[in-house]
A and B are shown apart, each in its own frame.
Chain A
Amino acid sequence: MRSWIVVSALLVLAGCSIFLYKTVGLNYPLRAADVAGTWRAELVVNVTGDDDKRVVIDALLPRDSGYQRLLSEAVRSGPMRFSISEDGQSRQGRWSGNLARSTNLSYQVTFDAFEYRWDLPVAEERDADAYPRRPRSLLDPSPGIQSDDPAIAELVAELDLDPSDKVKLTRDIFAFVSREIGAMRTVGAMDAVSVVREGRGNAMGRANLFCALARHVTLPCIVVPGIPLEDGTYDTLHYWNEVYVGGGWVPVDTVEGLIERIPAKHFALSSGDFDTAVRGENTASLSFRFDVQSELAAFVDVMRRRLTESNNLIDRLSLLFLPLHVQQTLRILLLVPLGALTMSILRSMIGLRTFGTFMPMLIALSLTATGLWWGTAFLFVVVLLALLSRIWIQRFYLLLVARVAFILTLVVILMVSLLLIGDRLDIPTTGLRAFPFVIMTMIVERISVSLEEEGWRNTLSRIVTTLISIYVTYVVVQASVLQTFLLVYPEFLIVILGLLIAVGKYTGYRLTELFRFSELAAPKGA
């Protein structure tokens, strides 16, 4: 009769046992020791070979520097061989081998990121010959940095740059490139001379121009490619410079307008002699991307290193071994049961009436992609406009499927318009793609049916409770601590199963019923 209690308890117990075994038996860390600044980046290269020719892929790799300290590296080479070559400031990885079909290569690194700071001295005068060997070698022109080009010479003359004081030079060139050279959003290689010709340039072009000007006036300079330190996927790089002044490399970012110090906003690759992060020979096709993910804790990395050495089955089954982009999907997937548990508690125990059972949860999940405020704004605009149209087309008595499809199309049009407007007004709309448009369509349909059947007062109260559910679920699912926790301890999904059985067997009053039936609870006078 009460067998559900046994099943529920067993499930909770099973999940907790695995958890306890991990924490007590295997010494898994319990707390996500919150060391901000630990990141994980994965370079994923998709390459297709060209007939039987030997394929060579070169990639710029990060190295220990003022920007970062590497903690661990791992490589996936498929059928190819991998080697790393280091030379001064350059660090490159090379995959080589025969490749008949296409394959995915990957280089994964965890690191701590730091703010990099090197202050300019008050003044410095130095001849080309007075530099140490390596900085001196960075005075020569190179592809993209045509410091010997007449156009650069002309510009230097026009700017009236004085080659004697290197500090003033640095500041002058920085001021010129960051203020006078306009921005461009184009993706792709851009050399210094074409930036001079255009009068504007993308990040790479401006860094190249800065470098060419500096080298022309005998100031050793390099271009540093990097990737933004923000959770996401990137296939274009950011570029900034370093100049050798005061016995060290002073960072200069003409795009962000930063000099002497660069906050830990980018992850630096070593500079190389080619102008993208990845270069291929004998490839039929080649594409790459960086998956970047912040780690709440060095904790995950520590665990990862520990786990790779372990032969324990539980260790080997850890989700942390999956590739980064799979883990990013998992982070959301693992939250779904948690959101579902929240929804069932809100509905069965609190008694909130919402539009759709799991709609609020799906909306909450998409809010994690858009951000709370913009997400709410998008939701309101789309639902309100679609709802008004839905009420308007009511007069035609369209057949159900056609009617819903009509609203669906309208929702898509609204989303496209928002993306367009957002792009023009620089509103962050990237997360909008994650919006569940089918769900929104169903919400519009439900609201309009409810308006007709239950009147606007009931509908409004139901909209409010739906919003409450969305936000409560959002608070639960957006916590990145929980995401990491579930990634390390996925056995809590089994615990959730047990809890769901318990919630499903809850036959007590819903919180809202205490108000609904409060008249019946009042003491009887008669």
Chain B
Amino acid sequence: MQCALLVVIVLAVQYLGSNLAANMKLVGITPGFGFLNHAANFQIGESVIPYQAGDSYGRAILVGLLNTVKVAVAGCILATIVGVALGVARLSTNPLLAWHVQAFVEVVRNTPLLLQLFFWNAVLHGLPGPRQALSPVAGVLLSNRGVFVPGIETDSPVIAGVVLVFALAAVVFLAQGRRIGLAASVAGLLGAGAWGLAHGATVALELPRLRGFNIAGGLTLSPEFAALLIGLVVNTSASIAETVRGGIVSVSAGQWEAGAALGLKRLQILRLIVLPQALRVIIPVMTSSFLTLTKNSSLAVAIGYPELVSVLNTTANTTGQALETIFIMMVVYLTLSLTVSVFMNAYNRRWKLRENAR
């Protein structure tokens, strides 16, 4: 029976494939990925790696992919922080706080994300022009061309990278409360910095200022990126808040009471007893929130952030290789999703093991 099914499926795939090939031939489209090496004669608004019109389609697509990864990673991290805070606040004994969070969650979860993106885009475009940019703090400029913050300019990116890694490690150790690790990474940070300066590396603070039509210098967040990031974070944090709330509620009241009996404060009970148990319920659902956020980033085409789908659409349009670009899109999103899943499942197993060991 199963063999017969397999044969039928193989035949069907073959039939559909040949049908597709015949139809493509009929309209004169040659399938293949040769176009990836051809020159892409269009400009991309923002890029992590250097890109200019005339570079290959492959590079243009990589630019789009990196833009997607950029917004997805930043979005997942921020959405988790905001979402967990909201989820805990939703259970607060302060009714005013709990109601406000509930109202926020209901509004966000019951309106379409695309509409929210248009809203945030309109808000950011409503900021004054570059010549009248708002400057809430010295060195930070808010305008409808983007958010500009001072950047650090250095001529030795390797040392800068090492310093950055130590800084990240320090933050992680600080969060976990491991004093030895913290001390070691701070020492490493200072050591690397001092070594760099001693060997002639220059570090300069670069302030954004008006030049020609735009503000130049420092680090820039484009309004489209900011709108997309805010939209995705707000949207996803609402569902994460609900997940966290559900997870906490799933821990039986007896655990709270036991903690209280031991003389722990409410926040201590939450951090030491309830959250570790709630995480078992929260993590798998959170994984799907992260996946949704990553895939939702493709809605950016509507507001003009040049992420993967936007670049691939342009590619399909100028080369005519629509099928190949859709294939690339599928492979990339599948890979991104599976990567997120693998990480989250590994994290999930860690919490599960602890549970079994108890």
Answer yes or no: do A and B interact: no
Chain A residues with CB under 8 Å of chain B are none
